[in-house]
Amino acid sequence: MRRADRLFQIIQVLRRTRKPLTAEAIARELETSKRTIYRDIATLIGQRVPIRGEAGTGYVLEKGFDMPPLMLTPDEIEAAVLGAQWVAGRADPVLAKAAQDLIAKIVDTVPERLQPLALEPASGTPPKWDLPPESIDMTQLRAHIYASKKILLHYRDEQGRDSKRTVWPIAVGYLETVRLLAAWCELRQDFRSFRIDRMTDAEFLDEKYPERRAALRAKWMQSFSLNNVRER
C-alpha cells in the first residue's frame, strides 16, 4: 500500500469508531507494523489532522474533521452502489428515488477511471420487491421516528382482525420480503414489530413519548438480542 493511501486509511479507521484505537489494532487492520503506524500518525498530526492520544492508550479522531467529499476507494464505491441498488428495489418511493440519485451523484463525482465501478458494478442485488403501495406515509413515519413522537396505528393482523395501537416508533426494519416497524406498544407495555403492509392507516400524533429515543432504542436492542421481538 502506498504511504498516501495508508494515511487516508488510518483516518478512515479512526473516524469509524468513537473509542480510542491502539497503534497495534490499526496496524493489524492495515497489515503493517506498529512502528509504521506511529510514524504515520505523527505525520498526520504534523499536517494538522486533529488526532488525539498517545502510544499505549490509543488514538481518536476529534469531531469536526472533514475530508474532501467522496474520496472513495474502489471497494467503497462498489459497497455504496450495492447498498443503493438494494434500497432502490426495496424501500418506499422516496428512499428508492434517493438511492437512484445517490448512484448518479457517485458517477458524476468520482474520477472517470472509477466510474465503471458505479455504472457496471461487479456485484448486484436480487430483483426488486413487487409489493402493493403502502397505505401510510413512510416519509412521515421516518420523521416521527426521528422526532420521538407517538403514532396511532390502525392494524390488521393475519386473521383479518382490526385493532388500534398507540406506539412509540423506534426503527423500520427490512426482512426478506416485508418491512417492519419496531415500536413500544402502549397496549401491550412491551416491544412489538408491526408489518407495514398490514397497516391500514396511521395517525401521526404531535405528542412526544416520554423516553429519550436513544435510551428506548438501547432497551429495544437489548430485548431483541435476548428474545426476538414479537409481532403485535
30 and 79 belong to one structural domain: no
pLDDT of residue 226: 54
Do the domain assignments include residue 11?
A: yes
33 and 102 belong to one structural domain: no
Per-residue pLDDT, averaged over 100-105, amounts to 91
Per-residue pLDDT, averaged over 46-75, amounts to 80
Q: Count up the domains in the chain and report the number.
A: 3
pLDDT of residue 198: 93
pLDDT of residue 55: 84
CA 26/CA 20 separation, integer angstroms: 11
Between these two residues, 232 and 132, which has the higher pLDDT value? 132
> Residue 69, SS3?
coil
Do the domain assignments include residue 125?
A: no
User: Which amino acid, one-letter code, is at 96?
Assistant: A
Computed over every residue of the chain, the mean pLDDT equals 87
Q: 104-146: per-residue pLDDT in tens? A: 988 888 888 888 988 888 888 887 777 767 789 999 999 999 9
143 and 219 belong to one structural domain: yes
Do the domain assignments include residue 133?
A: no
Do the domain assignments include residue 132?
A: no
Look up residue 149 and give its DSSP letter: E
Look up the CATH number of the domain holding residue 7: 1.10.10.10
CA 219/CA 206 separation, integer angstroms: 23
Rg (CA), the chain: 22
Residue 70: is its pLDDT beyond 80? no
Confidence tier at 223 by pLDDT (50, 70, 90): confident
165 has which bridge partners? 153
Confidence tier at 227 by pLDDT (50, 70, 90): low
Do the domain assignments include residue 67?
A: no
Q: 163-206: per-residue pLDDT in tens? A: 999 999 999 998 878 899 999 999 999 999 999 999 999 999 99
pLDDT of residue 69: 53
Do the domain assignments include residue 90?
A: yes
Residue 231: is its pLDDT beyond 60? no
Look up the CATH number of the domain holding residue 214: 2.30.30
Do the domain assignments include residue 37?
A: yes
Domain extent, residue 54, equals: 3-61
Question: Residue 202 CA to chain centroid, in angstroms?
Answer: 25
